[in-house]
Structure 1
Amino acid sequence: MSVDYALDKYFKVTFSDDKTVAYLQMSDWDKDFKCQIETLEQFLRGHQIRYGLQHDTLGRIVSHSEEYQYSRTPIAMGTEPIHGENGVIELKFDLGEQGTPRPLETVDGKVDYKEITRLNNVKKGQLIATRTPPKPGVPGTTVTGETVPCKPGKETHFKVGKNVLVNPEKTAMYAAIDGLLTITEKGKINVFPIYEINGDVDYSIGNIDFVGTVVIRGNVLSGFRIKAAGDIRVTGFVEGAELEAEGSIDISGGIIGYNKGYVKAGHNVKSSFVQDGNVIAGADITISQSIMHSNIRAGQNVICNGAKGLIVGGVVQAGEKVIARTIGNTMSTATVIEVGVLPELRNELSELRTQLKQQVESMDKTDKALYLLNQLAAAGQLSPDKLALRVKLNVTKKSNMSEQNEIKDRMLEIERMLEDTGIAKVEIVKTIYGGAKIVIGRYTRFIKDPTQRVSFYYQDGDISMVPLI
């Protein structure tokens, strides 16, 4: 009888599912049982255990076997993989309150309402952001000696905008000029100078088209246009004017649109109210008082839950959520709330389909030309100029295939985003009245009776209404 066979009578070896732990269980025992630790280790090696043996535990099992009659004891421990850490971009400024008007509180506790503009100004050469490279991770090892792979950290890169510099190591970003630090569409970091108007935008000022941030300490009158590569701040009212900013727009007084003009921001829009207006934002639209008979479109959220928090009439669209205190009124004014709507993505998808069609047609022409050239080559009739053309067409084909794959990947990504209505939601803090219509993705729900404190979301092919928690 072999030693291993003898020990098989007394011991059973088992493993955890991931083989990072091996267990020894005594299946039989008698008072005459004796075993050397070397013999037990040899027995375990015969069961494929190559790594992480717990020698102290094995010694105890050999010397005090009676203690282990009924237990399942870990006798070998592998190592778990340590997954890599993603690279991190750390902004050295808090932009959470960017462009938000807030009165200055002085040291003696008084509030100075004349000083409401405190922007994220930076000096030339000032550190704006740092980049920490990813960490690769450490593989693990099973008790049988196999390697458990780890996930490497993902790389991250600075999104370089205007008037910023990155050091050669690409670990730090600095301001290239004195100006206002601004995050524009797609997260680009910029430093913009500020253009300030101390009064109304009227015939004495005219239209404004500026590469930085525009501050208007007055009203913007009907028919005028302001375009800014940074933010727009208006301390007064905006009438039927056109405001367009790549960053955010903040209007302290409110918007009276007269059903003409628009307010459009790449990032956020904030205002006290909107009446007969058109407002578009790449991210959030936050209205403290009311939205009345207006067309509102936000890439992410529309928030109207202040003291009044009223939405009545018009159409409100949001990529993710609409949160309001009251929607509609007792007169059942038609009010449409749509969530999960991303028209920009749908437009991009349409453009990508056109591009893909053009690429396929171009590829077809390239393939036909290459077929003819390859036939000439096979017949030994390829002249030097046609040889050069053949090389050029092969490079073009490779580039075309790469572009097609990029287009297809982006199309698939957009299609998945358009199908995902899991985050789409409408929340009513107080009351929603009859006449309101809730649209989520391809689904519609009409509201007939006033209902208080509810939330609407998509579930199992329909729009569900549940009490607001």
Structure 2
Amino acid sequence: MRHYLKFFFDPGFDRRKLTPRLRQDGSVDLYDLGYVQNVMAGEVVAQWLPTEKAPPDADPRAFYSEKVFPYGLGCTPDPGNPDRLVSTVNGYVAFENGRITVRRTLVVPGDVGFHTGNIVFVGDVTIEGAVRAGFEVVGRNVVVRGLVEGARIRATESIVAESGIKGSDNAVIRAGGNLRTKFCENAELHAGRNLLVDASSMLCHFYVGERLAVKERLVGGTATCRGSVYVGEALGGGLRTQTKLLMGYDPELISRDRALRIKIHRTNERAMALRREVGPEGRAGKELAEELAALERKLASYQDLRHKLWLNRHGGENFLVCRVIVPGVIGANVEIGIGEAVMDAPDGARDVLFRYYDGDVVMSSPAVKR
């Protein structure tokens, strides 16, 4: 007697034969190849059904002489329904060597690029190669062995970029917990807890929930941090490169504020250009006037959102715990803000500590008591 096992995934899935997903408009998405078959804990991955319910094109592997689940790691028969096989973990489901398995860690053996598409996974991800510009990786904990280019990486817990991040102003890296990278350039980095740069940072934007540490140089860009910032060798440098630190505030609030300010600036620029072009006569003039009116409504909306953002902030900041610790040297054009107090850090100062005291930013030495 034959028994039919319905798979709730593709048992013949082969990552070597991926094809782009078809959009509703008939075009294809070259970044979405469906690299992984995600399942959540408790989700049904297979179920015994009467043989007559098998479709005509049923996979030959779905028929068994005995009603015994072919399963391995990460799944088990459902205690409430012995005809169902359920996942016991969040992970990816596969049919390997005749067994259904669910694994919590996904290893991508090379680069993330057009041959893989974006990687969106519910468990831990290890990328053995690079993450190429324009692609996205999502996971719980993410490790990238190669270089991160102008890509987007999101992790609910930690991210490690072992070879560094070279973002070309397009990399956005978000870790719910800790983030560590060899170096970083022209990127936006978010860490819910701590962020560590093993070498240097140049022209980056940091948003850190607790502590930021850069072992060598931090030059250019901005760093927003609730707790402490440590820079080992040099903070700032270059007359044309400003380095700004803002301490004590919610970093994600500052991030959203920055995004709104960028939108306001770009919308303003376009509106100003249209104002110069709008004429009183003709179809073109009317079309431009309509576009200008739409831009002005959008501008008002952005400004209202920014006002509400600060109006509804939770508060509760403790500026007294904020520290900027620089055992090395302060370069040119460095601004340090703790709360509403701001200091232009003195160029050439060495082995110094900045903190908040009585409404001001004050500097003392040494940076670390020995």
| TM-score (norm: length of structure 2) | 0.55
Q: CA deviation at 1:261?
A: 2.9
The residue aligned with 1:327 is 235
The residue aligned with 2:155 is 245
Say if 1:332 and 1:433, in contact at 8 Å, map to a contact too: no
Q: CA deviation at 1:294?
A: 0.8
Q: Which of 99, 104, 110 is residue 199 of structure 1 equivalent to?
A: 110
Q: CA deviation at 1:413?
A: 11
The residue aligned with 1:435 is 333
Amino acid at match of 2:350: Q
Equivalences for residues 32-431 of structure 1 within 5 A:
176-177=88-89, 193-228=104-139, 230-305=140-215, 309-325=216-232, 326-329=234-237, 331=239, 333-344=241-252, 414-415=314-315, 417-418=316-317, 420-431=318-329
- Runs of 4 or more, structure 1, over 3 Å off, are 175-179, 343-348, 411-414
Amino acid at match of 1:465: M
Return 5+ residue gaps in structure 2 as ranges: 1-40, 42-74, 76-86, 92-101, 257-310
**What does the per-residue CA deviation read over 1:95-127, in whole Å, with 9 as the maximum and x for residues that have no partner?**
xxxxxxxxxxxxxxxxxxxxxxxxxxxxx9xxx
Say if 1:332 and 1:436, in contact at 8 Å, map to a contact too: no
Give the match's secondary structure for 1:313.
strand
Q: Identify if the C-alpha distance between structure 1 residues 257 and 342 changes in structure 2 by more than 3 Å, giving closer, same or farther.
A: same
Amino acid at match of 2:246: E
Q: CA deviation at 1:212?
A: 0.7
Aligned Cα root-mean-square deviation (Å): 2.8
The residue aligned with 1:79 is none
CA distance in 1, matches of 2:359, 2:245: 18
Amino acid at match of 2:250: L
Q: CA deviation at 1:317?
A: 1.2
Give the match's secondary structure for 1:422.
helix
**What does the per-residue CA deviation read over 1:122-154, in whole Å, with 9 as the maximum and x for residues that have no partner?**
xx9xxxxxxxxxxxxxxxxxxxxxxxxxxxxxx
Which has the larger displacement, 242-251 or 339-348? 339-348
Tell which structure's C-alpha radius of gyration is larger. Answer: 1
The residue aligned with 2:13 is none
CA distance in 2, matches of 1:277, 1:262: 6
Asked which structure has the greater RCO (Cα within 8 Å, sep 6+), the reply is 2
Amino acid at match of 2:355: Y
Give the match's secondary structure for 2:320.
coil
CA distance in 2, matches of 1:453, 1:301: 19
Q: Identify if the C-alpha distance between structure 1 residues 282 and 440 changes in structure 2 by more than 3 Å, giving closer, same or farther.
A: same
Q: CA deviation at 1:321?
A: 0.7
CA distance in 2, matches of 1:298, 1:413: 17
Amino acid at match of 1:198: P
Percent of residue pairs identical? 28
Q: How many residues are aligned here?
A: 219
Q: Identify if the C-alpha distance between structure 1 residues 234 and 346 changes in structure 2 by more than 3 Å, giving closer, same or farther.
A: closer
Return 5+ residue gaps in structure 1 as ranges: 1-123, 125-162, 164-174, 180-190, 349-410
Say if 1:244 and 1:264, in contact at 8 Å, map to a contact too: yes
The residue aligned with 1:465 is 363
Q: CA deviation at 1:461?
A: 0.9
CA distance in 2, matches of 1:347, 1:272: 23
Q: Identify if the C-alpha distance between structure 1 residues 297 and 412 changes in structure 2 by more than 3 Å, giving closer, same or farther.
A: closer
Q: CA deviation at 1:330?
A: 5.2
Give the match's secondary structure for 2:229.
strand
CA distance in 2, matches of 1:234, 1:249: 8
CA distance in 2, matches of 1:299, 1:251: 19
**What does the per-residue CA deviation read over 1:221-249, in whole Å, with 9 as the maximum and x for residues that have no partner?**
00001111x11100010000010111100
Q: CA deviation at 1:449?
A: 2.4
Q: CA deviation at 1:331?
A: 4.1
CA distance in 1, matches of 2:246, 2:119: 33
